[in-house]
Amino acid sequence: MAQPRRKASIGAAKWLRGGREAWSELELARLVAKGIPTSVLGDMVEQDILTRDEVTRLIVARRTLAHRKRRGEALSRDESDRFARVIHLHQLARQTFDGDVEKVSRWLRTPNRALSGEIPLELVVTSPGARLVEDVLLRIEHGVYT
């Protein structure tokens, strides 16, 4: 049975917390507003959620990231928001594709007809784009797209 949308976001928060008890949506919003630690980006790359080039293109410029790491600063609100959207949609895609991480990776990086040929991962940088990708994933989960 399909999981409700809220579970996917909680999954993202749980990932951010290192697998411990999930945070509420409000706690995740506070974390994003505060700024996610830059060290979490390395975890994202290690877990094959994004490549280093994708982190640079979708979340934070390489020089900016290096600068923030040197100064011990967290990601900005906008960068943290993009990071949270990527994690949320990656978790939703994992649910949709029954945990098949190879299929998730392929799907997120392949032009999609339901998105007028756009690459799902490239749309995640904006809230409207992320909502479009989420909608397609939910339609797949409910059998509207195959």
What pLDDT band is residue 95 in, cutting at 50, 70 and 90? very high
Domain membership of residue 42 (yes or no) is: yes
112 backbone dihedrals φ, ψ, rounded to 5°: -120, 125
Domain membership of residue 146 (yes or no) is: no
Query: DSSP state, 42?
Result: H
Place of tokens 């978790």: 91
* pLDDT beyond 90 at 74: yes
So what's the pLDDT on residue 18?
53
So what's the pLDDT on residue 51?
94
Domain membership of residue 109 (yes or no) is: yes
Number of domains in the chain: 1
- Taking alpha carbons only, the member of 29, 79, 23, 87 closest to residue 56 is 79
Residue type, 125: V
Domain membership of residue 77 (yes or no) is: yes
Tokens of 59: 């979340």
pLDDT in tens, 20-46: 445 577 887 888 999 999 988 888 888
What pLDDT band is residue 93 in, cutting at 50, 70 and 90? very high
The range of the structural domain enclosing residue 78 comes to 5-141
Domain membership of residue 64 (yes or no) is: yes
Other C-beta atoms lying within 10 Å of the C-beta of residue 65: 19
Helices marked H in 1-146 = 5-16, 25-34, 39-46, 52-58, 62-71, 77-96, 101-109, 120-123, 127-141
- Taking alpha carbons only, the member of 138, 85, 126, 133 closest to residue 112 is 133
So what's the pLDDT on residue 60?
96
So what's the pLDDT on residue 14?
53
